Every structure is written in structure tokens, then in C-alpha cells.
Chains A and B, each alone.
Chain A
Amino acid sequence: MPDPLPPDSVGLVAPQTHHFTEPLKLSSGGVLPEYDLVYETYGTLNPGRSNAILVCHALSSNHHVAGYHSPDDRKPGWWENFVGPGKTIDTRRFFVVCCNNLGGCFGSTGPASINPATGKPYGPDFPIVTVRDWVESQARLSDVLGIERWAAVVGGSLGGMQVLQWAIDYSARLAHAVVIAAAPKLTAQNIAFNEVARQAIRSDPDFHEGRYYEYGTEPRRGLRIARMLGHITYLSDDIMAEKFGRDLRAGRINFDYNVEFQVESYLRYQADSFVGKFDANTYLLMTKALDYFDPAERTGGDLARALAPARADFLVVSFTSDWRFAPARSREIVKALHDNDLNVSYAEIRAAQGHDAFLMRIPQYLEVFGAYMNRVAEALP
């Protein structure tokens, strides 16, 4: 934690956990008889309980959106750039909530949690959860927090997909929906990347069919490769060229298989810092949730019909260099929204950073997102 603390940081924060005892019926047909959700909140819920913002997190992140868990923390929460006093999601005006999704590995019940039926970690027996299941569990958390209606539900990437699902499943429970760098469903190419990541994990000899906890090990090699692959898809060709080019670490080619190019060093660093912090079974689950997401599945592929129940006002944002969820994918969402006569604004932000741009302080992005959140604040009852 920086000293002194910047005035626009929420500072020290502590997660909370709620234990849910009402069974959760899942899309897969499975049931979670009981589960925990870990979450963080920033800001103050107003007396009318009308100023709450739900942030939905992406594939590998968690409930720790902003601030620091201890003075020794080197890094703040994953969306520190956007959440804090005076920031885009202004914690002086809003009460911000984010929970670690079910199946996660940061405190919410997931594959590494103990299965009450066996007394052992769930491992591969943890049921596959979908975006719909997450939204259902988040709605239950809303009940616990006494939030009948969110001022906005906000998310990037897989988080944006949760926002869409919220708008469909609980249309009366959100006033605004902010969908950033998302897609209405994955393409075959997206699924293919996920499958390579899963195969990397599942073919690691330390995977033990997902029961690696019982062997006191984990599929580190597989998870590393999965993470490297992920990072390639989060960046654009241009930003990789700009950041690393063909720069050599030692300044010359060594004709061996050690790290030579800077980009190799970057990928290995990203992989190393992921392993030990993230559970491989959770990675498998999250990629499956992505693959299965397709709200139009129930309406014969018609996204506009799928979004017919939605009542929220929308902001949709994409980034020009995002090839994982390209602007054209966001425009599919926008079309389905205006086909339903819903209020929607759409911004296509010029950015070289690729999919990861949704985490970064890009002036036009800040301007657009900030203008919209200001509108949300001004419309508060």
C-alpha cells in the first residue's frame, strides 16, 4: 500500500463472507446444497438503498476490486483504476459490491472447498456453474444485503456477460447495465483457445483427474501454459510489438531454449505469478462458463428476443484492438438492445491494448464511462 495513501483510493478493505443454506439449483441440473460467497463493499449504502453498484468480475479476478487488504500489499484490487472516492465508480456516491463467483478460488465455494458429503475437496465433483447460476447467486447476495434494485450492474469481459444475464433474468432489479469488452456468446475460435487451456491443465501428470489436492500437488505446468495462452489473447499484436518487439533479454541470440525474447520473459512472469494463486479446477470451470454463455440459446439464436425482458438502460463499450471480444461482438449486443427500443449508448474506444484495455486508464474510456456513471448517480432516487 502506498504511503501516503492516494486520496482517491478506498484504502484498507476487508472481505466478508456469507454462508447460504438454501440449496442452489444449477443450470446443469446439479444442486449446491449450501455454499459461501465472499464479497467486498466500498462506500455507504444510502438510507433508500438505491445507490448500490454491483461489479461482476472476469475470468481470473475476484471480489477484491479496489483498495488493499493490508499495509504490506504491493498491489491494489483489480479495478483500482475505476473504483474509489472521486473515481469513475465514485465510492462517495455509490455503495459498490463485488463477490467472488461460485466455483472460484478466493473464498467462495469452489472445487478446492470441502465437499460436506465426503469431507474431502470437491475437485472434479464440483458441479459446472454457468453465468446464469452466478447471477442467481448474486441475486441472493443482493437479498442478504437488502438491495432490491441495483443502480447499476457493471462488468468487463466475462463480467459483462453477467451484466447481460442480469438484465434478462432480473430485469426489475437493475436500473443501468454497463457491458464492457464483452460478447453475446463465444465464437468457435474463443472456445478453441479455452479448450487448449483446459487440455494443458488436464494433460498435466499432476492433474490426477482433478483430485490433485489429495496428492498434495497441483497441475502447475498445465496452469502456466493456460495462463500464457490467455495472456496472448488479452493483448493485441500492436501492443505486443510496442511492449516487447523482438527485444532480446541478453541482447543477443544464444541458440538455446532459455528465455531469449522479452515476450517470453513476460509470459513466463505472468504464468509464474498466477500459479500458486489460482486453482486449476477453477480455471477449468470459468472457461466452461464462458463457453456455455449464450442467452439467445433459449430463443432460437435470436439475441433480440433473448433481451426482450430487459428494462435497464445500457452502456456498451468495446475497444478497437480487442480481438478476443472484438467491437463487432459488442455491436451485436447493441443491435439487440435497440431492436427492443431500449436506451443504449455505445462507444468504440480507440486503444492499442487489446482485451486488457478494459482495465486501463484510457482517456476516452474514462470520459465515456465517467459521463455514464455520472448519469447513473444523478438519476438516483
Chain B
Amino acid sequence: MTRLAERPDLSIIAEWIAPRTRVLDLGCGDGELLQHLARRKQVSGYGIEIDDEHIPECIRAGVNVIQMDLDAGLSEFDDDSFDYVVLSLTLQAMRYPRRLLEEMLRVGRQGIVTFPNFGHWSARVQLALRGRMPVTRALPSTWYDTPNIHLCTLKDFESLCREMGIHVLEKRAVDHRHKSGLGLRLLPNLLGEIALYRFRRG
């Protein structure tokens, strides 16, 4: 699995997921997380993806993929039907992120979310000093041409979790090398480029 090395947020998620569980991967892309989990951890489940080009990729990878729009909700999935519901680097592109988080915890016993941290120092510097919308490694699009319409910081996300009664079980902030050294542990909201959370209903 060399490709997972290119998306180390996925390898952290893979570490968090217990073997022989059931996973729903929202915005599963080409299915690499589920393929990895199936091979290494006997995990079963489904990926949801809207993008045409990813559907045959998932099929080739032997991953169950269901083509649908996440913004339409997860009403086709029953309560508690998965051990984990994963949303990696997709929350910020959702039209109704709060509603989707609610849905994730209805359908799954645990949720795993990763997102680009808008509180990263480089974003702060660009906005504060240059007065421009940040364009960073984790957020490479310009403001007028970005799928990312609901950006947030670690603090914002945690405050939403408190408001929604979501209990965070594990949290990680990583830099672009997806390392989380001492600095990142002390100042995650300033130094973290990608935030990762594992949580359950409170």
C-alpha cells in the first residue's frame, strides 16, 4: 500500500479503526482507505462518492462504492448500522456540515473527521498581514474557485462538538509531513495543517 503513504491522514484513520469492524467512508475517493482496511484489518463496509471518475476506480479496487450526494444526507442508512463513519477532508466542502455530523453519529457508533485547519499560522498570516484569503498547501484553491465552503479551525470544531454534545475520543493535528511533534501537541490550532478527530455521541 504505497498510495496510503501519500495521504498519511488516511494512515492515522486506519490506525484508529479496530479490526473486523464495519465502516462507512463518506467521500471515499478511489477507495484506498477501504481497500487498505479490508486487506489489513478485515474491515467491511461501503464508500460513498459522487465523482464519476472515482466509481470505476473503487470497483477496480474491489471496494463497495455507492454513488450519491452526501449533501442529500444519509437517510438510506439505518441507525447504528456502522461501527465507524469516516469523513476525511470533506467536511469543509459540505453544504450542511452540522447536519452531516448529526447523521454520522446516527448511522455510526463513532465518527472520524479530518479537515484542513483554517487556524494554521500561514492562513492567519495571510489574512492578518496581507489582508487576503489564505491559499495554503492544505487549502490550495482561490476563494472564487474552491469546493471548501465551510472552513473552520480546531477550536471552532471543538466548540461545535460541545454544542452538539459530541464526545471527542481522540484528536490529532499534523503538519504537511503529517508528523505531530511536540510543537503540534502544544499548539495544535496554530501549527496543525490537518486536524483529525475521533468521537462519539456524548
Q: Considering the complex, give the chain B residue whose CB is closest to the CB of A366.
A: B56
A379: nearest chain-B partner, CB-CB: B62
Contacts of B22 in A (CB 8 A): 341
Q: Which residues of B contact A344 (CB under 8 A)?
A: 46, 64, 66
Docked complex Cα distance between A371 and B60 (Å):
6
Is A364 an interface residue, CB under 8 A from the partner?
yes
Interface status of A233 (Cβ within 8 A of chain B): no
A350:B78 contact, CB within 8 angstroms: no
A339-B59 in contact given A345-B64, A347-B67 (Cβ < 8 Å): no
CB-defined contacts of B76 to chain A, threshold 8 Å: 331, 334-335, 338
Is B55 on the interface with A (CB-CB < 8 A)? yes
Given the interface pairs A338-B46, A339-B78, A350-B52, the reply to whether A331 lies near B60 with Cβ below 8 Å is no
From A343, A344, A347, name the one whose CB has the most chain B CB atoms within 10 angstroms. Answer: A347
Classify the interface of chain B: helix, strand, loop or mixed: mixed
Closest chain A residue to B44 by CB distance?
A341
Q: Confirm or deny: B196 has a beta carbon within 8 angstroms of a beta carbon on chain A.
A: no
Which bracket fits the contact residues of B? 20 to 34
A-B contact count (CB 8 A): 52
A368, B56: Cβ atoms under 8 Å? yes
- Of A364, A370, A371, most B-chain CB atoms within 10 Å: A371
Distance in Å: Cβ of A307 to nearest Cβ of chain B: 15
Closest A-chain residue to B66, C-beta based?
Answer: A346
Does A148 have its Cβ within 8 Å of any Cβ on chain B?
no
A158 to B55, CA, bound (A): 25
In whole Å, how far is B119's beta carbon from the nearest beta carbon of chain A? 37
Cβ-defined contact, A347 with B60, below 8 A:
no
Report if A19 contacts B (CB, 8 A): no
Bound together, the chains give a CA A334 to CA B76 distance in angstroms of: 9
A-B contact pairs, 16 of them (CB 8 A): A315-B59, A331-B76, A334-B76, A335-B77, A339-B78, A341-B44, A344-B64, A345-B59, A346-B65, A346-B68, A350-B52, A364-B52, A364-B55, A371-B56, A371-B59, A371-B60
A-B CB proximity, top 3 nearest: A371-B56, A371-B59, A367-B56
Residues of B within 8 A of A (CB): 22, 44, 46, 52, 55-56, 58-60, 62-68, 76-78, 81
Task: With A364-B55, A371-B56, A371-B60 given, name 7 new contacts (CB 8 A).
Answer: A331-B68, A335-B76, A339-B81, A344-B64, A344-B66, A368-B55, A368-B56
